[in-house]
Amino acid sequence: MSKNNAEFFKEKNEWSVIKDKLLGGYLKPYFQKLLMSGHPIYYVDCFAGKGRFQDGKDGSPLIALKIRDECLKASRIARRPSSIQTCFIEKTHGDELIKNIQLLFPTNNTYEVIKGKYEDNIEPCLADKKDYNVFLYVDPYGIKSLSTARLDRFKEFGFGTFEMLINFNSFGFFRNACKALKVNYRNDIEGLDELVEYEPTKFTASEQSQRMLTDIVGGEYWKPIIMRYNNGEIDGYQAELEISLGYKQYLNKLYKYVLNMPIRLKHSQRPKYRMMHVSNHEDGCFLMAQNMLKRKEELFINIQQGGQISLFDVSDTEFTSVEGDTVSIYEIENNVYSQITKLTRPIRLTSFIASFINTYGLICEFKIIYNALEKLEQSGIIRIERQPSHTPTRRISRFWEEDRDKTITIWRLK
């Protein structure tokens, strides 16, 4: 059975540790980068929790506030706390959250806690944030609050940049989708009830539940997937994968870049749940992908029991994608070429990588993509232009990282 929500904050579990690493690892470069943008940042933890677990570990609000203060302190330009505004929405544990924040930041009141529901409060919070850099962390217990109609409306607020990190409980969706369509979910997903973490909503075999599910993932595409599962054409893992891909495609209609990250905990090729990163700017997609790659050891190896899965590096010519598929170097080179053929004008490297990952997912390290680009340059298919073109010692530049002072532009020649 799904666990009781009351136990969630007793002890931080492995799932939460992974989410923290993804969030914490991203927020630092995100804050640092956007502090330079000149526009304020508005960070909202939409399902904030208590701030602290009973075992003393920080919850997501304290993690974010610590990183915020660190970034403000380290910023070369004097920054006011209002450069990064933080808001925490919490339905049940608002008082405890305030207490826990005050314990750690007794003199700092530059945060807002909203005691209420995300559904009721998020739009009023965002309505006056035109031109802000907005980041939403969406970590609900189940799937019920993830209405896509709301996401659609966010687009109208005119933010400078917009990003979301969503914990999408895809197995929870699968199980509820089966219930709603009266499909017997056979036990071919190991420990399905364990995977579906905390789930307060009861979905039933009813039209109302079907409508709710359609609203959650932005379309009815989930229904034929469940029916194919019911007919035995696909297994439950394939169904979960297809639902997640459908959800990604829906999000991509609203936002330019979507990263779909399966999270694994144990020595198994099967994902356990998914984090979706949504952004309307290439830098966000690039930074999050980089965050994942940098932390892959922690995220995917150390935490997995036995630590035996190696993400990406099977050999020099074969890699394992985040979905657990084997991808050959030839496939990657073909994909890079195919992405190049779509270019109608020169493109900056960061945009190219973000589009590539958005299309193909995190199938390999960036350096493999860079090697493929170099090959295309050698074949005269593209030209790679770096600024500055030479190093201070007058050597030809070879860098592969763009920053404020360094740019890389790809020109398609054929």
Ligand X SMILES: C[S@@+](CC[C@H](N)C(=O)[O-])C[C@H]1O[C@@H](n2cnc3c(N)ncnc32)[C@H](O)[C@@H]1O
Stretch that binds ligand X, among 136-144, 180-188, 245-253, 373-381 (CB under 6 A): 136-144
47 interacts with ligand X by CB under 6 A: yes
Cβ neighbours of 175 (radius 10 Å) = 23
> What residue is closest to ligand X based on CB?
59
Cβ neighbours of 314 (radius 10 Å) = 13
Contact characters 285-324, ligand X, x per CB under 6 A: ----------------------------------------
Q: Which residues of 263-293 are buried (b: 16+ CB within 10 A; e: fewer)?
A: bbbeeeebbbbbbbbbbbbbbbbbbbbbbbb
Using the minimum distance from each CB to ligand X, give the nearer residue, 47 or 312.
47
Contact characters 253-282, ligand X, x per CB under 6 A: ------------------------------
Residue 168 β-bridge partners: 274
In one letter, which amino acid is 366? F
Strands 111-115 and 273-279: unpaired
Using the minimum distance from each CB to ligand X, give the nearer residue, 135 or 352.
135
Among the listed residues 67, 89, 113, 213, the single contact to ligand X using CB under 6 A: 89
Stretch that binds ligand X, among 135-143, 187-195, 255-263, 273-281 (CB under 6 A): 135-143
199 interacts with ligand X by CB under 6 A: no
- Residues 168 and 38: their CA atoms lie apart, in Å, by 32
DSSP-based three-state secondary structure for 133: strand
Among the listed residues 26, 30, 31, 49, the single contact to ligand X using CB under 6 A: 49
Question: Does 40 sit behind a cis peptide bond, omega within 30 degrees of 0 on the bond before it?
Answer: no
Stretch that binds ligand X, among 66-74, 85-93, 255-263, 285-293 (CB under 6 A): 85-93
Among the listed residues 30, 31, 43, 118, the single contact to ligand X using CB under 6 A: 118
Residue 162 β-bridge partners: 134
Cβ neighbours of 51 (radius 10 Å) = 27
- Residues 154 and 167: their CA atoms lie apart, in Å, by 18
Beta strand spans in 111-256 (E): 111-115, 133-138, 161-168
Among the listed residues 34, 41, 86, 90, the single contact to ligand X using CB under 6 A: 90
CB of 123 to ligand X, least distance (A): 13
Contact characters 141-180, ligand X, x per CB under 6 A: x---x-----------------------------------
Stretch that binds ligand X, among 100-108, 138-146, 229-237, 316-324 (CB under 6 A): 138-146
16 interacts with ligand X by CB under 6 A: yes
- Residues 230 and 242: their CA atoms lie apart, in Å, by 14
CB of 17 to ligand X, least distance (A): 10
Asked if 43 contacts 135 with a C-beta cutoff of 8 angstroms, the reply is yes
Tell me the longest C-alpha to C-alpha distance in the chain: 71
Residue 305: name the closest of 336, 334, 272, 277 by CA. Answer: 272
Among the listed residues 140, 246, 262, 284, the single contact to ligand X using CB under 6 A: 140
DSSP-based three-state secondary structure for 84: strand
Stretch that binds ligand X, among 88-96, 177-185, 304-312, 353-361 (CB under 6 A): 88-96
Which residues contact ligand X (rule: CB under 6 A)?
16, 47, 49, 59-60, 89-93, 117-119, 139-141, 145
